[in-house]
Amino acid sequence: MPALEQLVVDIATAMAERTARGRVADYIPELAKVSPAHFGLVVATADGHEVVAGDADTRFSIQSISKLFALVEALSRDADAVWRRVGREPSGSAFNSIVQLEAERGRPRNPFINAGALAVTDLIAQDDDPRAGAGAILRLVRRLAGDDSIAIDSAVAYSEAATGHRNAALAHFMKAEATIDGPVEQTLSTYFHQCAIAMSCRQLARAGRFLVHGGRDPASGEAVISAERARRINALMLTCGHYDASGEFAFRVGLPGKSGVGGGILAIAPGRASIAVWSPGLSAQGNSLLGTEALEMLAHGMGWNVFNPDPAP
Ligand code: GLN
């Protein structure tokens, strides 16, 4: 695919020249140590090619991208329980907002804001072993990426556990409203560990392939989830994957995507490609600034758009 290869090189070259790179997240002290100079991009195409540029194999903290994998795990265990707890509407609020949760009596708008993700993770954390929940999410990610070297960065998990008071506030409030069942400390610890999974763009792009192929992992041929569930997860990524910038992302990029404050974004061009991009500097809404711009250039250049796909050049 020479057009795609050239485009990926052009995007990486353009991003390397940018001086305004956004702000690295510093509310988790360990993330503040990451240089904003990084940029990585991997496109895993439906026909099995991987087109890469920049820091494609450098591992970074996936943070909220883990909410996608936690949702897949929880839906596989008990989908009705998930949808009793959380809604499917965009929040229009910051990822860690508290005010909407109280106004709506402890029911989070969707599984991708922090409150919703904590409620989903609580379903997985119900186990005697406090490490089991994050372990289950890690095992899923390893299976999807076909890579057992993927691991949790415990320094990042502890760094967030020491400072994650907003998440603790959300979790305690939901415990009071009976949205969360388990011991709050266990749910929080599981959540901080899942967010601290470290992956490269290459590993992340591989882990997203099942959403390109209607829920089927092209490497193993295994149906990870049903085609209907894959469609619905893509819909949630499109409408809720970038918090209060989800509309802007749909407008500019036009693909389902899930961001994390580590600066990664996983985007899905259904039937075409799984795309992972990483640039640690964030926008005011907490989404990768250059990552979004790179995806906009890629989606536009390839005609990859879920609303009105153009023929590939
Ligand atoms: N662990 C982060 C938090 O809860 C994840 C947020 C994000 O990536 N948007 O604050």
Same domain, 165 and 277: no
**Residue to mutate (ligand 1; options 24, 28, 64; most atoms within 8 A of CB):** 64
Given the structure tokens 């949790």, which residue do they identify?
Answer: 152
Same domain, 244 and 192: no
Query: What would the pLDDT profile of 138-193 be if each residue is shown by its tens digit?
Result: 999 999 999 999 999 999 999 999 999 999 999 999 999 999 999 999 999 999 99
- Among residues 166, 197, 228, the one where a domain terminates is 197
Closest atom of ligand 1 relative to the 64 alpha carbon: 8
- Among residues 197, 222, 255, the one where a domain terminates is 197
Q: Which amino acid is present at 89?
A: E
Same domain, 178 and 235: no
Query: What would the pLDDT profile of 273-304 be if each residue is shown by its tens digit?
Result: 999 999 999 999 999 999 999 999 999 999 99
Same domain, 203 and 140: no
Same domain, 174 and 260: no
CA–chain centroid gap for 242, Å, is 9
Q: Which residues contact 251 (CB under 8 A, 6 or more apart)?
A: none
Same domain, 113 and 13: no
Task: State the distance from the centre of ligand 1 to the C-alpha of 153, rounded, in angstroms.
Answer: 15
pLDDT, position 133: 84
Q: Is 67 a catalytic residue?
A: yes
Same domain, 185 and 210: no
Widest pairwise Cα distance in the chain: 56
Closest atom of ligand 1 relative to the 27 alpha carbon: 10
Query: Can you give the residue range of the structural domain that contains 145?
Result: 64-197
Q: Is residue 175 part of a domain?
A: yes
Q: Is residue 117 part of a domain?
A: yes
pLDDT, position 132: 79
Q: Is 261 a catalytic residue?
A: yes
Q: Is residue 311 part of a domain?
A: no
**Residue to mutate (ligand 1; options 66, 96, 165, 240; most atoms within 8 A of CB):** 96
Instruction: Mark the ranges of the chain whose per-residue pLDDT is less than 70.
Output: 1, 127-131, 309-313
Find residue 43's DSSP bridge partners.
51, 275
Specify the number of domains making up the chain.
2
Task: State the distance from the centre of ligand 1 to the C-alpha of 137, rounded, in angstroms.
Answer: 16
Task: State the distance from the centre of ligand 1 to the C-alpha of 28, rounded, in angstroms.
Answer: 9
Q: Hey, whose CA ends up nearest to atom 6 of ligand 1?
A: 64
